[in-house]
Amino acid sequence: MTTQKIRVAVIGASGRMGREVVKMVLEDETLQLVAAVAPSAGPVDAGLFAGKPNTGVIVSPTLEDALSHSKADVLVDFTVPSAAYGNTKTSIAFGVRPIIGTTGFTPEQIDELDELCKEKGIGGLIAPNFSIGAILMMKFAAEASKYLPHVEIIEYHGDQKLDAPSGTSIKTAELISQVRQELRQGNPKEEEVIEGARGGYYNGFRIHSVRLPGVFAQQEVVFGGYGQTLKIRHDSYDRAGYMPGVNVAIKKVMNYSGLIYGFEHMMD
């Protein structure tokens, strides 16, 4: 008996994350790559499929074209914040379940996309972080904030990252805010001598974004209490580290209805 493969389209296919997704999909015999969307087909053809069978994969510069010809079940998006919202809407309009790794969505956009998924009767996922270690870092940070409510987040990424603070740090801040006692930290008379020195303000605490070449993706959540500090830190070294999470999401989203925000809701 043959089981139906899940048909996967990838947008941002020639990007750093997109290439990892294409590789992962081609290596999993329960998945079928049906479309790769990239601004120019050149880099995709040149390296992406090298040594791997790619017959029947639609390579197109436009999402509409790829989805109307591929009968995809799922679209994986690792593109840019300015494009991901539109891509997600297009995907839902085609009845294709969006799995979105691109960061930069507003809460209003997430609510709207959830409604659109429900109207279509399909599942979807926006996940600021697909790394299992990063999810655990967020969970442990939320737990610690119940007991040590004085907290600051420091996130580190490469200097070409477009959005700040990172989607992971915002997600961490949201999880902390759900369980931490209400508290506006710091000295109320504090003044910033240089604008931005205290970082971004989120619900009573601060998020700091470091952008440097050579850095990949790291985050530290620092707690302060009487005579002590606690640091919870996660370091990503390789894009392949996100792929087990993306793989699980592609398979699980088939059984969901509505848009899930955060991979932690699919992990258990």
Ligand X SMILES: NC(=O)c1ccc[n+]([C@@H]2O[C@H](COP(=O)([O-])OP(=O)(O)OC[C@H]3O[C@@H](n4cnc5c(N)ncnc54)[C@H](O)[C@@H]3O)[C@@H](O)[C@H]2O)c1
Here the tokens at position 210 are 């470091």
Which one among 6, 8, 10, 15 touches ligand X, defined by CB under 6 A? 15
Stretch that binds ligand X, among 125-133, 141-149, 184-192, 253-261 (CB under 6 A): 125-133
Q: How far is residue 166's CA from residue 168's CA, in Å, rounded to a whole number?
A: 5
Of the candidate residues 80, 110, 136, 267, the single one contacting ligand X (CB under 6 A): 80
Q: How far apart are CA 100 and CA 85, in angstroms?
A: 9
Instruction: Exactly one of 5, 89, 150, 161 is catalytic; name it.
Output: 161
Query: Can 161 be counted among the known catalytic residues?
Result: yes
Please say which residue, 15 or 165, places its beta carbon nearer to ligand X.
15
Is 157 marked active-site?
A: yes
Query: How many CB atoms neighbour CB 243 within 10 A?
Result: 20
Show the site string, 16-45: x = touches ligand X by CB under 6 A, - = not: xxx-------------------xx------
Binding span for ligand X by CB under 6 A among 47-55, 79-87, 170-178, 189-197: 79-87
**How many other CB atoms are found less than 10 A from the CB of residue 198?**
15
Judge whether 44 and 67 are in contact, CB under 8 Å: no
Going by C-beta distance under 8 Å and a sequence separation of 6 or more, which residues neighbour residue 142? 172, 175, 176, 178, 179, 180
Select from 130, 205, 223, 261 the one that contacts ligand X (CB under 6 A).
130
Smallest separation (angstroms) from ligand X to the CB of 41 = 11
Q: Does 98 bind ligand X (CB under 6 A)?
A: no
Part in contact with ligand X (CB under 6 A); list of ranges 10-18, 107-115, 139-147, 172-180: 10-18
Based on the shown chain and the rule CB under 6 A, indicate whether residue 261 belongs to the binding site for ligand X: no
Residue 100 DSSP SS3: strand
Binding piece for ligand X, criterion CB under 6 A, among 45-53, 128-136, 206-214, 249-257: 128-136
Taking CB under 6 A as the rule, does residue 241 contact ligand X? no
Residue with Cβ nearer ligand X (14 or 209): 14
- By beta-carbon proximity to ligand X, the closer residue of 39 and 186 is 39
Closest CA to 261 of 181, 179, 168, 145: 168
- Number of alpha carbons in the 13 Å side-chain half-sphere of residue 268: 5
Dihedral Cα 219, 236, 163, 74, nearest 10 deg: -130
What CA–CA distance (Å, rounded) separates 262 from 135? 9
Rounded CA-CA distance 238/245 in Å is 13
Catalytic-role residue among 157, 171, 208, 234: 157
Site of interaction with ligand X (CB under 6 A): 11-12, 14-18, 38-39, 78-81, 83, 101-103, 127-130, 242
Catalytic positions are 157, 161
